Amino acid sequence: MQRETLAAQAVPAVGVAAMRYRWPGAADDCLSIEQFEIEAGERVFLRGPSGSGKTTLLSLVGGVILPQAGTVSIAGQPLAQLSAGARDRFRADHLGFVFQLFNLLPYLSARDNILLACRFSATRRARLAARGTSADAEAERLASRLELGAVLHRPAAELSVGQQQRVAAARALIGQPGLIVADEPTSALDADRQQAFIDLLLDECAEAGAALLFVSHDLRLAHHFDRVVDLVQLNRVVAEAGA
C-alpha cells in the first residue's frame, strides 16, 4: 500500500492544536501554535534560527514539558491526559529520540545503551517478538547496519563522536516506535557521514513506518524530507512580535 494511503487511514503521528507554551518565570510565551500535524510515516524537516524554540517544541512533543493551553497528541493520545509516570511509559513505547549530545550512558557498552530502550518498554519488546526477533538480535542487526559491530562491547565513553551518534540512532529505532525525533543529529559529522547517517535514518524509518521529525539548521539536508516546516512561520509568537 502507498504511504499516502496508509497515512490517510492512520491517526497523525503528532497533533498540535491551539497550543501555547511559556517557560516558567519568562515574561512572554515561547511558542503559540494554532495547528501542526505530522502524518503517520511522514518525514518533516523543522528549521528555525537559534533560539526560535525548536528544542522547546521537541520537549513538548515528547511530553517532557506540558503546554499551558491547547493539546499535544502523539498517535492520537493527548499527552496532558496521562499521569507523569504514564507519560514516561508512553514516551518509551512510542518515541525514539536522537539528541544533539546523544545522552548515552558512558559506562555502559554500546550494546547495553541500545538495549536500554527495550528494557524500559515491554511494547517495544512485543513489537520485536511479533516480527519473530528479539531485542538482542535486533541490536545486532542495527549495529551491523550502522557499522558498529566491532565496537558493540565497548563502553560508550570510548567511542568516537560518529559512533556514539550511531548508537543513539540505534537506541531510538530499536523496537519500532511510531515517531523518531532527532535534534541536530548530524551537527558533529563531516559531510560524507552526514549523508550516510541521514540515508540510514530515513531507510530505517521507512521500513518501520515511523514518522520522523528532524531538526537542523542545515537547509542542504532538507531535500531528503517530505516537508520543510519553518518554525518562524508556524509560531504565532514570532509572527506577532515581528508584525
Ligand X SMILES: Nc1ncnc2c1ncn2[C@@H]1O[C@H](COP(=O)(O)OP(=O)(O)OP(=O)(O)O)[C@@H](O)[C@H]1O
Q: Identify which range of 44-52, 101-109, 112-120, 170-178 contacts ligand X by CB under 6 A.
A: 44-52
Q: How far is the CB of 63 from ligand X (least distance, A)?
A: 15
Is 53 a binding residue for ligand X by CB under 6 A? The answer is yes
Q: How far is the CB of 110 from ligand X (least distance, A)?
A: 26
Is 30 a binding residue for ligand X by CB under 6 A? The answer is yes
d(CA 216, CA 227) in angstroms, rounded, equals: 13
d(CA 51, CA 241) in angstroms, rounded, equals: 14
Q: Which of 23, 35, 137, 222 binds ligand X (CB under 6 A)?
A: 23
d(CA 27, CA 14) in angstroms, rounded, equals: 28
Within 112-131, which residues bind ligand X (CB under 6 A)? Answer: none
Q: Which of 43, 47, 54, 125 binds ligand X (CB under 6 A)?
A: 54
Q: How far is the CB of 49 from ligand X (least distance, A)?
A: 7
Kindly give, in sequence order, each residue whose CB lies less than 8 Å from that of residue 127, ignoring residues fewer than 6 positions away: 175, 176
Q: Chain centroid to CA 136: how far?
A: 22
Q: How far is CA 136 from CA 49, 128, 163, in A?
A: 40, 10, 19
Alpha-helical runs (H) found in 27-74: 54-61
Within 71-100, which residues bind ligand X (CB under 6 A)? Answer: none
Q: Which of 2, 51, 130, 132 binds ligand X (CB under 6 A)?
A: 51
Q: How far is the CB of 99 from ligand X (least distance, A)?
A: 11
Question: What is the three-class DSSP state of 98?
Answer: strand
Is 32 a binding residue for ligand X by CB under 6 A? The answer is no
Kindly give, in sequence order, each residue whose CB lies less than 8 Å from that of residue 36, ignoring residues fewer than 6 positions away: 14, 15, 16, 229, 234
Closer Cβ to ligand X, 52 or 164, answer by number: 52
Is 52 a binding residue for ligand X by CB under 6 A? The answer is yes
Using CB under 6 A, list all residues that contact ligand X. 23, 30, 48, 50-56
